Amino acid sequence: MTQLSAAPTGEPVPPDSGRTLYGGKGTRRVTVRDIALAKERGEKWPMLTAYDAMTASVFDESGIPVMLVGDSAGNCHLGYETTVPVTLDEMAVLSAAVVRGTSRALIVADLPFGSYQEGPVQALRSATRLVKEAGVGAVKLEGGERSHRQIELLVESGIPVMAHIGLTPQSVNAMGYRVQGRGEEAAQQLLRDAKAVQDAGAFAVVLELVPAELAAEVTRTLHIPTVGIGAGPETDAQVLVWTDMLGLTGGRVPKFVKQYANLREVMGGAAKAFAEDVVGGTFPQEEHSVH
Ligand code: KIV
């Protein structure tokens, strides 16, 4: 007989081996164990950023299995120029909103710049806040070899960690926004970084803006999943920033982004139509009025 386990809701769920991350029906949240099993099955999966409850609920209902409360909130939600100014307080508020708006997705929150660089103890204090106050299931932090001690302590303490190597936007002042891992020496460093975060216990690693061939090699080498952004088609998962993916971001978007909608046009058009109705006296009508 098939073994069923009880979900937090009390409803039985099939054993993990019977699920897929995308398209799977869940009565409980996706866990890091589900992510590990997907790598064993060779299953690819999507991840999107989210910064508020309503948008997150749309993605959750669409079956997106992992959502990242990225510190890209700095540029895409909070109006900063980079991710550098984002604070832990801001991440806690945004992460709690995303958790409240979802019931199935694994929610991963970024540790913002300055909240873990001092060392493992600072990282644990910051991550603990996001887990306890916001209710996220995992945290993400940037850096390979240079962050392995932080990752080790978080994982030992029971906090799942997604690592992030290649282009690390929190280091924009030191590295700029350039493709990483080009050339033999840089490629070897990227491979060392990937192995370092895996050995430290990370459950997955984001590869940002690295040559597709190198990302494919890292993906073959690691037993944890790779999540690509601007890293070609061979990574185990793909992540996009939602405002880029849905065409809300103004100005130029990076080459690696595929736009699936043009929300900027849709929203701008709707705002203009509303304004014209108000100015022209055609809104509200009788059906919008109360008596
Ligand atoms: O902050 C973010 O959105 C990210 C993704 C680009 C991976 O780190």
Mean pLDDT score across all residues of the chain: 93
pLDDT value at 2 more than 70: no
Q: Alpha carbon of 181 to those of 151, 166, 204, 285: distances in Å? A: 22, 7, 19, 60
The confidence score (pLDDT) of residue 238 equals 98
pLDDT value at 272 more than 90: yes
The confidence score (pLDDT) of residue 12 equals 44
Mutate to test the pocket of ligand 1, among 72, 165, 207 (most ligand atoms within 8 A of CB): 72
The confidence score (pLDDT) of residue 219 equals 98
pLDDT digits (tens, 9 = 90+) for 98-156: 999 999 999 999 999 999 999 999 999 999 999 999 999 999 999 999 999 999 999 99
pLDDT digits (tens, 9 = 90+) for 45-80: 999 999 999 999 999 999 999 999 999 999 999 999
pLDDT value at 30 more than 60: yes
Is 34 annotated as a binding-site member? no
Catalytic residues: 208
pLDDT digits (tens, 9 = 90+) for 165-184: 999 999 999 888 888 999 99
pLDDT value at 191 more than 80: yes
Contact 159, 136 (CB under 8 A): no
Q: What percent of the chain has pLDDT over 90?
A: 87
Lining residues, ligand 1, CB within 6 Å: 49, 68, 70-72, 110, 164, 206, 208, 229, 239, 241
The confidence score (pLDDT) of residue 153 equals 98
